[in-house]
Amino acid sequence: MFLSSHDLDEVQRACDRVGIIREGRLAAVEDVGDMRARAYRDVTARFDTSIDPSELAGLPAVSALDVDGDTVHFRVHGDLDLVVKALGRHTVRDLEITQPTLEELFLTYYEDAG
């Protein structure tokens, strides 16, 4: 089946593979699951006290680090193992890890194009 749509929520629900067209050319054809597995994750962690953000900022997979008191928000590209170990050195009160939607992944193809 072939589905052409700008409604990426619909595409995500209905399709296993997706083709991304940029500037009239096919930029990628990928399995949606593979694309999501390689994608960044947004992380929000709340601790019992404030932590030194340099512990996370020094990790190669971490970017866009923002600290608000006892809560940190950041993006992880790739493996979570070192991040989880760094978080585990503290008392974690809450942890949320979210993957991007297909629309957010689609937009990264345009960001990367400059």
Per-residue pLDDT of the chain (114 residues; tens, 9 = 90+): 677 777 777 777 788 888 888 888 888 888 887 877 778 899 999 999 999 999 999 999 999 999 999 999 999 998 899 999 999 999 999 999 998 888 887 777 777 555
Query: Which domains, ranges and CATH numbers included, belong to the chain?
Result: 8-36+102-112 (no CATH), 40-98 (3.30.70.100)
pLDDT of residue 1: 67
Write down the pLDDT at residue 68. Answer: 95
In a 13 Å sphere around the CA of 34, the CA atoms on its Cβ side amount to 8
In angstroms, the Cα distances linking 101 to 6, 47, 89 are 14, 27, 30
